[in-house]
Structure 1
Amino acid sequence: MQQPIVGYHLDTESHWVAELGCGHYQHVRHNPPWVVRHWVTTEMGRAAMLGCPLRCKKCDDKAPRDDLH
């Protein structure tokens, strides 16, 4: 299921995590050649992606919200 990005935070290892509109969190790493997300590396790039959809596997699996923890 596609969900919009509504914010970001850093995890304990300083990796960027997208906060999705559904309440789930998803890592958004720039890890070439497997994952190319140049936009993650700058504040302006992350801001430009706010509202853009990401596939949320946790929604597909009907997992509880991450933001309740």
Structure 2
Amino acid sequence: MDKAIVGFHQDEEQHWVARLTCGHFQHVRHDPPWQQRPWVMTVQGRQQKLGFTLICQKCIRGEEKDR
């Protein structure tokens, strides 16, 4: 299920987390070589990804919204 990014915040370990339209959160780490997301490291990069969609595994599993 594709859900749009509506915002970002950092978790307790300072990793970036996307807030999705469905109410779930999803980590969007830049962790080379496994995950290549250099855009998450800048305010401009994150702003450019607002509205971009991600597959929400939590929706697929029927989980409740994150808090």
For the aligned pair, the TM-score class normalised by the smaller chain equals: over 0.9
Instruction: Quote how far apart the aligned CAs of 1:11 are.
Output: 0.4
1:58 aligns with 2:53: no
Structure 2 spans left out of the alignment, 5+ residues: none
Percent of paired sites with the same residue: 54
The residue correspondences of 1:1-69 to structure 2 (distance < 5 A) are 1-66=1-66, 69=67
**RMSD value, Cα:** 0.5
Paired with 1:54 and 1:39, the residues of 2 have a C-alpha distance of 15
Q: 1:59 offset after TM fit, Å?
A: 0.4
Report the CA distance between 1:8 and its aligned residue.
Answer: 0.5
TM-score, length-normalised on structure 1?
Answer: 0.95
Corresponding residue pairs, total? 67
Flag as ranges the 4+ runs of structure 1 deviating above 6 A: none
